[in-house]
Chains A and B, each alone.
Chain A
Amino acid sequence: MIYFDNSATTKPLQEVLESFHTVSESYYGNASSVHRLGLEASRILRKAHEQAGLLLNVNPEEIIFTSGGTEGNNLAIKGIAYAYQSRGKHIITSKIEHPSVLVACEFLATQGFEITYLPVDQTGVVKVDDIKAALREDTILVSIMHVNNELGTIQPIKEIGALLSDRRYTFFHVDDVQGFGKVKLELKDNGIDLYTLSGHKIHGLKGTGLLYVKKQVRLAPLFHGGGQQFERRSGTENLPGIVSLVKAMRVVTEYHLHHAEHIQQLNNKLRLELSHFPEVVINTIEDQAPHILNFSIPGFKPEVILHALTERNIFVSTKSACSSKKPDESAVLSAIQLPRAQSTSAIRVSFSYHNNEGEVELFARVLKKILKDLKK
């Protein structure tokens, strides 16, 4: 079995499962209860805040644990929009964001907000000059992802942060669901005010995630209730999920520290293998996120190839899992103005630290055979 669909979801690590298990069994108290079980739970919760803060190099109270990337992105975008609407109702984002950003913005557009969706260049990168040109007096939020989920392109976060640094009421949100653990990004030095992570993309569990919100930044909550997590996210804290998320963050951070070049080698290897295929066009330019490689095989239906690969126990995807139900072409690939033949025939390979070069070789061999059979 070869699992090359790690941008859709990843297999949880054994140590993550163990953390989840231990907390579920031994620390089941409600962190808001005042008795001992509650105090124990709240102590572990505080520790989780501290460790997550340490890993991201931010303050513990700047971390809000969420139910995943979608909630994190929605909380960031709507939270800023509603908290600062008296200062302005203009938001800037890009055309290649994840649906949880795009559709949240579309919703805000129905509520009287104005959204500018920036185009990207043909390599799939947002231009800082475009942001500069789009900025207005009443712009309250810029939301740009760090690593694109379909192409793997890295956005110029540092430069955008610098551009916004002297604008006190234009907040900067970064969706780093795809980048964390693979492409390093410092939050503090880059003018980032809000930052989204998801657990299940980093070998953690589904239903877990976090949002970093810089101190002093106000946020209107999505859920109202018991006032947990500094009044920013009501609902009994999912302590086993939270602890398992922090565990996954730590392990993946260590992988990145010690094995960063491993995934890059897999990427190089696949590029090299694919260069021998006359039918294949590689859509991801070089020197982007190491774990995602997007390519097209014009003239072949991607579903057919995906199905043929699946039959041989190899798992890739055609585009982001969240939009897989839509039959049309990839929005991201059409945003980089690929010819339709290319944007409707794309395959995304996404690696984890657990893949190896042998798997890449085997994948290339199998793909070759599939194309040969299909041509008959």
Chain B
Amino acid sequence: MDAIYLDHAATTPVHPAVIEAMTNALQTSFGNPSSIHSFGRESRAILDRCRRYVADKIGASEKEIYFTSGGTEADNLAIIGVALANKAKGKHIITTQIEHHAVLHAAEHLETLGFEVTYLPVNQYGQVEMRTLQESLRDDTILVSIMMVNNEVGTLQAIAELAAIIKDHQAYFHTDAVQAFGLEQINVAKLGLDLLSVSGHKINGPKGTGFLYAGKGVKFHALQHGGAQERLKRPGTESLPAIVGLTKAIELIVEDNYPHKASYENYRTVFLQVLAQEGITFQVNGAPNAYAPSILNISFPGTSVESLLMNLDLDGIAASSGSACTAGSLELSHVLIAMYGEQDPRTENAIRFSFGLANDAAQIKKAATKVSQIIKRLTKQSTIIEEVK
């Protein structure tokens, strides 16, 4: 039985063309880009080309792109880096309760260093409301970090409007675009962004790669120190084949004019249609009008996450309860708690299905049918248990 992979928000398969590009780079361009002989110069030329390409596709200049070892490092570099470099201007930071742990834990770390952090609440759709940002903003705020697409429920934030609020304020605006990147064109200037984080392995690129965009003039400290790579902000021999892979992954999306959004929208519709036809009781968690179609988070009343996940896995469906990073522990989702409060049953019966290149419409239909069967089985069981009690 071939498993159906509906966990693309955790990680994605590497695109064959990415593997090819990387293999080619590994075999032919192994020079250290800092070496001054021709091996080094060749690697340097490839690195420069990748940087220019990535920069161009988000409307930035090549000097504003810093390649990292992934989304976590990019988020940490943005948040801790900006905080440490700007503490003379203030020690207040604003973020939200529903960020990825790479942002939340970096912010908590800053609290131990004497920074003050405001964690904005969200409404029941997972949206940050404009007034909460306006009300929290202080003269000593130096950074606002709000994710573009939430990794658990897929809610899309009104980033341009949120960034506009602090346009004339000293604070920098950072967005974690790890889940958003690749669905639609992102233009940092149009959105009014100072910093933006992207991860490679969420867009069919390799693990261990990502980048941070930091606009010219944005002051931030390096997290690690060493050679002069990445304009001193991220020392360490550049992971060239991975950077080539990341660039290729972006190229595949851009040159095909961001093709995925429409198909994921279709998967989403099909999935929900099947559930409805099968008579399943469910509720979609997230914002009905502002969402990334790649992520579909659904609560099934009368079930529990553990038994759902186990049954899904046995039936060959790979899905997830929350973000992969917290999924291992099966702790309650901080995102759903922020949306509904701690006592709400929806925090305990939600499953995230996330779509990607490993899927097609037939698969989605099959998966939704299987999910329906499992839900019927499980809710029947729980009704019986209720009756016995």
A and B together in one complex = yes
Are A12 and B206 interface neighbours, CB within 8 A?
A: no
Instruction: Choose the segment among A34-42, A268-276, A292-300 that binds chain B (4+ C-beta atoms closer than 8 Å).
Output: A34-42
A98 adjacent to chain B (CB < 8 Å): yes
Knowing A9-B30, A74-B225, A224-B105, the reply to whether A318 touches B206 (Cβ < 8 A) is no
Of B26, B101, B239, the residue contacting A20 (CB under 8 A) is B26
A93 adjacent to chain B (CB < 8 Å): no
A101 CA to B328 CA in the complex, in Å?
A: 34
Chain A, residues 84-121, CB within 8 Å of chain B (1/0): the string is 00000000000000111101101100000000000000
B333 adjacent to chain A (CB < 8 Å): no
Chain A residue numbers with a CB within 8 Å of B345 are none
Are A67 and B72 interface neighbours, CB within 8 A?
A: no
Kindly identify, within residues 220 to 264 of chain B, every residue whose CB is under 8 Å from any CB belonging to chain A.
222-229, 235-242
How far in angstroms is the closest Cβ of chain B from A125? 23
**Size bin of chain A's contact surface:** 35 or more
A35 CA to B354 CA in the complex, in Å?
A: 13
A317 adjacent to chain B (CB < 8 Å): yes
Instruction: Choose the segment among B6-14, B53-61, B164-172, B292-300 that binds chain A (4+ C-beta atoms closer than 8 Å).
Output: B6-14
Chain B, residues 142-184, CB within 8 Å of chain A (1/0): the string is 0000000000000000000000000000000000000000000
Of B23, B76, B222, B237, the residue contacting A321 (CB under 8 A) is B237
How far in angstroms is the closest Cβ of chain A from B321? 7
Kindly identify, within residues 305 to 362 of chain B, every residue whose CB is under 8 Å from any CB belonging to chain A.
309, 312-313, 317-321, 323-328, 330
Kindly identify, within residues 3 to 28 of chain A, every residue whose CB is under 8 Å from any CB belonging to chain B.
3, 5, 8-12, 17, 20-21, 24-25, 28
Knowing A36-B313, A71-B69, the reply to whether A238 touches B208 (Cβ < 8 A) is yes
How far in angstroms is the closest Cβ of chain B from A196? 11
Chain B residue numbers with a CB within 8 Å of A69 are 236-237
A52 adjacent to chain B (CB < 8 Å): no
A71 CA to B80 CA in the complex, in Å?
A: 16
B285 adjacent to chain A (CB < 8 Å): no
Knowing A9-B237, A321-B34, the reply to whether A225 touches B325 (Cβ < 8 A) is yes
Are A37 and B26 interface neighbours, CB within 8 A?
A: no
A234 adjacent to chain B (CB < 8 Å): yes
Chain A residue numbers with a CB within 8 Å of B229 are 322
Instruction: Choose the segment among B36-44, B115-123, B127-135, B372-380 that binds chain A (4+ C-beta atoms closer than 8 Å).
Output: B36-44
Chain B residue numbers with a CB within 8 Å of A106 are 225
B290 adjacent to chain A (CB < 8 Å): no
Are B206 and A70 interface neighbours, CB within 8 A?
A: no
B64 adjacent to chain A (CB < 8 Å): no
Chain A residue numbers with a CB within 8 Å of B39 are 3, 5, 315
Are B324 and A33 interface neighbours, CB within 8 A?
A: yes
A370 CA to B32 CA in the complex, in Å?
A: 25
| Chain B residues close to A by CB (< 8 Å) | 3, 5, 7, 10-14, 19, 22-23, 26-27, 30-32, 34-40, 69-73, 75-76, 80, 100-102, 105-106, 108-109, 199, 201, 206-209, 222-229, 235-242, 309, 312-313, 317-321, 323-328, 330
List of 10 A-B pairs having minimum Cβ-Cβ separation, nearest first: A207-B239, A226-B325, A238-B208, A322-B227, A100-B226, A70-B236, A67-B69, A224-B105, A235-B72, A225-B102
| Chain A residues close to B by CB (< 8 Å) | 3, 5, 8-12, 17, 20-21, 24-25, 28-30, 32-38, 67-71, 73-75, 98-101, 103-104, 106-107, 198, 200, 205-208, 222-228, 234-241, 303, 306, 309-310, 315-318, 321-326
| A-B residue pairs in contact (CB < 8 Å), sample of 27 | A3-B39, A9-B237, A17-B26, A24-B14, A29-B318, A32-B325, A33-B10, A33-B11, A34-B327, A34-B328, A35-B309, A35-B319, A74-B225, A98-B226, A200-B30, A205-B239, A223-B102, A224-B108, A225-B75, A225-B102, A225-B106, A226-B102, A234-B105, A238-B69, A240-B208, A303-B36, A324-B36
